[in-house]
Structure 1
Amino acid sequence: MYAVSFYDPDPDTTPERFQRIVEAYPRHKAYLDAFAAETGDVLMIGTFGDPGTQGSMAVFRSREAAERFRDSDPFFTEGLVYRSRILDWDPIVFAES
Structure 2
Amino acid sequence: MNPPLFVMTYEPSEGFGPLAAEHGPAHVARLHEFHDRGVLVHAGPLSDPFDGTAIGVFTSREAAEEFIAGDPFVLGGVVARWTVRGWGDLFAPAGRPG
TM-score (norm 1): 0.81
With over 3 angstroms needed to count, the CA separation of the structure-2 counterparts of 1:23 and 1:54, relative to structure 1, is: closer
Stretches (4+) displaced over 4 A: none
Q: Identity rate of aligned residues, in percent? A: 30
Aligned to 2:83: 85
How many Å separate the matches in 2 of 1:54 and 1:34?
Answer: 22
How many Å separate the matches in 1 of 2:42 and 2:10?
Answer: 14
What is the aligned residue count?
Answer: 89
- Give, in angstroms, the shift of residue 36 of structure 1: 2.0
More helix by share: 1
Q: 1:6 aligns with which of 5, 9, 17?
A: 9
- Give, in angstroms, the shift of residue 71 of structure 1: 0.8
TM-score (norm 2): 0.80
How many Å separate the matches in 1 of 2:34 and 2:70?
Answer: 10
Structure 1 runs not aligned, ≥5 long: none
